[in-house]
Structure 1
Amino acid sequence: MTHTQTFPAGSGITPADFDAIMREKVPFVGDMGVITERLTDDSATLRLPFNERYLRPGNVVTGPAIFALADIALYAVAWLVVPKADLAVTTEATVHFLSGAKPGDLIAEAKILKAGRRLLIAECHIRSAVDDSLCAHVIGTYAMPPA
């Protein structure tokens, strides 16, 4: 059984717009070099280019880098809901690390599960671009600013 939900009209933001916003408003994210590959009405796909600084013992990508990518992808879908989500903030996140991410780019696919007036709930899958393995599953809640 498939479930279809209609989400409010968003900002019409493009991947290039979101990348520029991150570089300007959240310099830490800009420094990571995350690339927004795709935005739809209710989902976002982002890429974290590999950097050896993200490796930990065991030759896998560190958890903080994986979670940072997931949080950025969840923030991207917040921008799809309200025209200017500058003030949207993470209020909760549950991270399930499922497998070690091999050295290489990581791909985040975030999707809105529920968009309310005050809260947005979304999920994010992090996959390795090396072997397409699912590395992490994240459910996040964002407090949303007034539209």
Structure 2
Amino acid sequence: MATKAELTHFFQTDFPQADFLIDSVGEKSATIRKKINQGHLRPGGTVSGPVLMELADAALYVTILSEIGLVAHAVTTNLNINFLRKPSAEKDITAKCTLIKLGKVLAIGEVSIYSGDSPEPVAHAVGTYSIPPVK
């Protein structure tokens, strides 16, 4: 298992391009947040779909690593996302992930993405990760 501090350090050193904050990790779950800026927006004043997909994928990765440890080569094999509502261009987005299954070679999780403090999700994703064999 990896702690919030260990995960934060891992992403800062091994994935410096990761521009999200880890809010919490726990029992097969994690919450991460991304500060939205002008570069994340699409015409119409909303957060772009690829940004939401990136956050969903990152939330899955953080959640899985919090359970199995810092395994850099765990990779996404599938990600399905449904865009539900227009996220605000002025508010951070938050992704809350819960693992549905954590096996030896596959992990499956679901992610709800929220805009600001709204209780209604703006997107919902389900993803699968391949976990490399232990050597």
The TM-score with structure 2 as length reference comes to 0.92
Runs (5+) with no aligned partner, structure 2: none
| CA distance, structure 2, for counterparts of residue 14 and residue 65 of structure 1 | 25
Contact 2:82 2:124 in 1 (8 A): yes
Q: Which runs of 5+ in 1 are unaligned?
A: 1-10
Seq. identity, %: 32
Deviation of residue 130 (structure 1)? 4.8
SS of match in other structure, 1:53: helix
Given the alignment of the two structures, is residue 55 of structure 1 paired with residue 41 of structure 2, yes or no?
A: yes
Match of 1:14 in 2: 3
> What SS class does the counterpart of residue 97 from structure 2 fall into?
strand
Distance across 1 between alignment mates of 2:11 and 2:28 = 19
Number of equivalenced pairs: 133
| 1:26 paired to 2:27 | no
TM-score under structure 1 length normalisation: 0.85
Give the superposed CA RMSD.
1.3
Look up the match of 1:46: 32
| Secondary structure at the counterpart of residue 131 of structure 1 | coil
Distance in 1, Cα, partners of 2:24 & 2:132: 23
User: Offset of 1:54 from its aligned partner?
Assistant: 0.6
Q: Is the aligned partner of 1:77 residue 2:63?
A: yes
Q: Quick one: which amino acid aligns to residue 27 of structure 1? A: P
One-letter identity of the residue aligned with 1:113? I
Amino acid at match of 2:57: D
Q: Does 1:140 pair with 2:127?
A: yes
